[in-house]
Structure 1
């Protein structure tokens, strides 16, 4: 059975926070992708991080423990991005 992975997106208000989150999540061995913030998400930073939905709990824990400032965590739906955290 083929499993399709659902990806979530973290948006930031600053490049510094995006790069800091990238370092922390990579250190925690969470599969991520740093990419341009989608047009459907309003953020102060041009960079976002994409990660797999199955890693949500770990991502939220790391962001909170390390006090990373984020705009929000989003899921891409048919009609655009929806805030989930």
Structure 2
């Protein structure tokens, strides 16, 4: 398995909306608990393969999904990507 990225949200509604949009776009995702090291207002996060980053970013912007940020794992901690 390659590198996966993580989207964190401030609301469950936005997390579930993003899940629906990404599944519709046939992007492999995993709905998971938000890791302790990521500050977010929602207990749900979405993981997706790093190679789908551009398409995920496009969908989030086009559909105006409100996110806390997109993170990558560096060693044992999550680091927010610049947007």
The TM-score bracket by the shorter chain reads: over 0.9
Q: Where do 5+ consecutive residues of structure 2 fail to align?
A: none
Rg: which structure is higher?
A: 1
> Quick one: which of 58, 62, 67 aligns to 2:64?
67
Task: Report the counterpart of residue 21 of structure 1 in structure 2.
Answer: 18
Tell me the TM-score normalized by structure 2.
Answer: 0.96
Provide the C-alpha distance between the structure 2 equivalents of 1:5 and 1:69, rounded to a whole number of angstroms: 26
Count, aligned residues: 82
Tell me the TM-score normalized by structure 1.
Answer: 0.94
Q: Secondary structure at the match of 1:82?
A: strand
RMSD: 0.8
- Deviating beyond 2 angstroms after TM superposition, the runs of 4 or more aligned structure 1 residues are none
